[in-house]
Amino acid sequence: MLSVMEDERVISEELKSEDQAIDLTLRPKTLKDYIGQDAIKANLKIALAAAKQRKEPIEHVLLHGNPGLGKTTLAYVIAHELGVGIRITSGPAIERAGDLAAILTSLADGDILFIDEMHRLNRAIEEVLYPAMEDFKLDLVVGKGPGARTIRLDLPRFTLIGATTRMSVISGPLRDRFGLTFRLDYYQPNDIEKIVQRSAMILGVSLAPEAAQEIARRARRTPRVANRLLKRVRDYAAVKADGKVNKTLAVEALETLSIDPLGLDEIDRRILETIIDKFNGGPVGLSTIAAAIAEETETVEEVYEPFLLQLGFLHRTSRGRVATGEAYKHLGRTPPPEAQRLEV
Ligand code: ADE
C-alpha cells in the first residue's frame, strides 16, 4: 500500500505545473519568514520551544480556516523549525485502515504526519487514528470471522497536523485529541502587501510599491490568491511591456483577468447576480445557486462564499442565502428596502 501511495506522490511531483513549482519556492520555511497570523505564531513559538526543551515531539495540531490561508505552509514551517521529516496526505487519499497503517509505520520518531482535508477522513479510519494519536499504538485486526484477533504495534512518537476548511464537520472525539488548535483568519491587508513584495523579490520581479498595493487590494486577503495574481501580472508585464510592473500595468492585467477592485472574479459576481436577478435577492438555497452557475456546491460554499460573507455581501439564513444592500451597490444596482435592512 505504501509503495502505491509513494508512486502516486512521485507521479504527481513530476506532473507539477510550473505554477506549483513556483508556489513551493514562495513558501516561507521558518516562522520568522512567515508573514501574518501573529497570534498563531506566538503560540507556536512557545509550543515548539517547550517541545525542544523536553526533547519531545510537539502535541498534535489542528489547523482550520478557509482555503489558501497557509495551513499546509504552516505544517512545513513546523517541520522545518523542529528539523524533522514531514509526510503529506489527505483525508480522501486514505481509503482503508491499511493505508493509514502503512503510513504510520513508515514514520520516524518525531516525524510529522500532515493530513489535509481532515473532515473527509472516513470514520473507520478515525478509529485507527485514536490509539495512534493517544498512545502511539496501532491496533491491527488480523484474520476474519471468529478467528480474528487484534495485535497492537508500537508506533514512533509522531505529531499529527490535521487541516480542515470545515471545523464543524470534525467529530468531537477527533477534535479532542489535538493538543493545539489554531484558526487561520483572513490576513491584514498590509501583511498581504508584504507577502506580495516578498514573493516578487524571490521571483526577481521588479514591482512598484503601488503595483504591490493594487495586487494586495484585490487578493481577497489570501496569500495563495496574492501569489497567483502576482504571477499573472508578471506574465502580463513580460508580454505587454518590458517586464517591470508599475501600477498601470498591474491594474490592466487584473482587469484583463476580470478581477475587480475588491478582488471579486467572474464567479463571485455570477453568484451575487444569480441571487439578485433570479431570486430577487434571496433567500435561495446553496445547491440552487451552485446549479444555476454550474459549479460544485462544495466549491461555492468553501471557496467563494467565505469571502463574500467576509465582505458583508452575503448572509446565511435558515432559509438560504441573501444578498445584502452592499452587494447590490457593488454590482451597480439599487438595493430594495428589504436588502437595506440587512445592513444593520
Ligand atoms: N507565502 C504564502 N503565505 C505566506 C506567508 N504567510 N508569509 C510569507 N510568505 C507566504
Please write the tens of the pLDDT for every residue from 122-142.
999 999 999 999 999 999 888
Tell whether the model's pLDDT for residue 7 goes beyond 50. Answer: no
pLDDT of residue 344: 45
67 falls in which pLDDT band (50, 70, 90)?
Answer: very high
> How far apart are alpha carbons 298 and 162 in whole angstroms?
20
Nearest-atom number in ligand 1 for the CA of 34 is 7
pLDDT value at residue 343: 53
Ligand 1 atom nearest to CA at 70: 3
Give the least confident one: 23-32, 38-47, 169-178, 266-275.
Answer: 23-32
Residue 5 scores a pLDDT above 90: no
**Averaged over 21-47, what is the pLDDT?**
94
Active site residues: 71-72, 116, 165, 224
Question: In angstroms, what is the span from residue 101 Cα to ligand 1's centroid?
Answer: 33
Ligand 1 centroid vs 35 CA: distance in angstroms? 6
User: How many angstroms is it from 195 CA to the middle of ligand 1?
Assistant: 6
Q: What is the pLDDT of residue 142?
A: 85
Q: Quick check: 6 pLDDT over 60?
A: no
Mutate to test the pocket of ligand 1, among 25, 30, 34 (most ligand atoms within 8 A of CB): 34
What are the residues facing 182 on neighbouring strands? 63
Q: Contact 258/252 with Cβ under 8 angstroms?
A: no
CA distance 14 to 2: 18
Start-to-end Cα distance in the chain: 55
**What is the pLDDT at residue 76?**
97
